[in-house]
């Protein structure tokens, strides 16, 4: 029996697993440029994501250099001024409940704790949040749009495309941070980038080389284990419990 019929080759399986387990939301990047050919290849690979009836609902704007700097300076200034922007779609629930609230609070205070920001230091928190609009210093900023009349199924498809980008980036030794924060300034972004009427912003994403020395990049978030979210019908062997922070070779 061939290796293909027996299953995926072990080294291939390991590389897929490693890409998934090493993906993080990186919040500090080095200024090193990413070649356009690399970005194009990542997007080409990511476009193999499934979509209902193969409609491929994704559209991507890639920002580098001066256009990136011009837009991010304006957005950062808006955030620091306290401009609330405008909600386009509800990303979070209108009412928080457990276990989601505890998880949200933990990841937030883990981040601020790593940065030496204490509770009540509002100005420091605002400045850290405003760094979203600089793509956390990444040399590449990606902005994603979708046609407004597409339904929830296309948004599900879009999520798989975004995940493919993040995993393909790991194959090139790059890191990412998906960012919904950009959406509230969609009017400014649309004006800067001539986004056609009928398209709406889905999110942004920073892409580049992780700064290995940045304290915010030392955080490893926890994940619930299958025992917390899955069940076999009929019941199977006991499922693994809570999964702690995963650290890959060479990571803190």
The predicted pLDDT at position 239 comes to: 74
The predicted pLDDT at position 211 comes to: 98
Q: How many domains does the chain have?
A: 1
**Residue 136, number of CB atoms within 10 A of its CB:** 23
In DSSP notation, 1-59 reads --HHHH-S-HHHHHHHHHHHHH--B---B------HHHHHHHHHHHTTS--GGG----E
Q: Which residues pair with 200 in a beta bridge?
A: 146
Q: Could you tell me whether strands 140-147 and 59-63 are parallel, antiparallel, or unpaired per DSSP bridges?
A: antiparallel
| Chain centre distance of CA 162 | 8
Residue pLDDT, tens place only, 155-180: 999 999 999 999 999 999 999 999 99
Whether 1 is covered by a domain: the verdict is no
The predicted pLDDT at position 10 comes to: 78
CATH number at 190 reads 3.40.109.10
Q: Are 24 and 246 in contact (CB under 8 A)?
A: no
Whether 126 is covered by a domain: the verdict is no
Whether 97 is covered by a domain: the verdict is no
Q: Which residues of the chain have pLDDT under 50?
A: 1-5, 247-252
Whether 229 is covered by a domain: the verdict is no
The predicted pLDDT at position 132 comes to: 97
Whether 204 is covered by a domain: the verdict is yes
Whether 19 is covered by a domain: the verdict is no
Q: Are 136 and 55 in contact (CB under 8 A)?
A: no
Q: Burial level of 98, CB count in 10 A (0-12/13-18/19+)?
A: exposed
Whether 10 is covered by a domain: the verdict is no
Residue-number span of the structural domain to which 175 is assigned: 24-88+132-223
The predicted pLDDT at position 7 comes to: 62
The C-alpha atoms of residue 68 and residue 83 are separated, in whole angstroms, by 20
Q: Strand, coil or helix: what is 176?
A: strand
In the numeric block, the tokens 């749009």 are attached to: 145
Angstrom distances, CA of residue 167 to CA of 1, 10, 51, 162, 174 = 31, 18, 18, 9, 9
Whether 211 is covered by a domain: the verdict is yes
The predicted pLDDT at position 243 comes to: 62
How is the beta sheet containing 140-147 ordered, strand by strand? 59-63, 140-147, 199-208, 175-179
Q: Burial level of 59, CB count in 10 A (0-12/13-18/19+)?
A: middle
Give kind and range of the element (H or E) at residue 106. Answer: helix 100-114
* C-alpha R_g of the chain: 20
Q: Which residues pair with 171 in a beta bridge?
A: none
CA nearest neighbour of 70 among 223, 193, 159: 193
């Amino acid at each position: 029996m061939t290796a293909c019929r027996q299953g995926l080759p072990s080294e291939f399986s390991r590389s897929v697993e490693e890409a998934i387990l090493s993906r993080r939301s990186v919040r500090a990047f080095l200024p090193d440029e990413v070649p356009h050919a690399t970005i194009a290849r990542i997007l080409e690979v990511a476009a193999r994501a499934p979509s209902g009836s193969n409609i491929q609902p994704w559209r991507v704007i890639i920002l580098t250099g001066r256009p990136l700097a011009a837009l991010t300076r304006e957005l950062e200034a808006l955030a620091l001024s306290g401009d609330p922007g405008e909600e386009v779609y509800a990303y979070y629930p209108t009412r928080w409940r457990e276990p989601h609230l505890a998880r949200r609070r933990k990841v937030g205070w883990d981040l601020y704790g790593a940065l030496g920001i204490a509770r009540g230091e509002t100005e420091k928190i605002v400045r850290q949040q405003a760094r979203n609009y600089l793509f956390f210093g990444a040399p590449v900023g990606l902005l994603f749009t979708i046609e407004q009349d597409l339904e929830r199924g296309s948004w599900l498809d879009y999520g798989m495309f975004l995940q493919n980008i993040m995993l393909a980036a790991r194959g090139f030794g790059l890191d990412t941070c998906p960012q919904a924060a950009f959406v509230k300034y969609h009017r400014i972004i649309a004006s800067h980038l001539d986004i056609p009427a009928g398209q709406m912003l889905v999110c942004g994403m920073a892409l580049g080389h992780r700064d290995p020395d940045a304290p915010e990049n030392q955080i490893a978030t926890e994940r619930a284990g299958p025992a917390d979210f899955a069940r076999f019908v009929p019941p199977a062997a006991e499922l693994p419990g809570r999964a702690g922070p995963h650290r890959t070779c060479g990571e803190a």
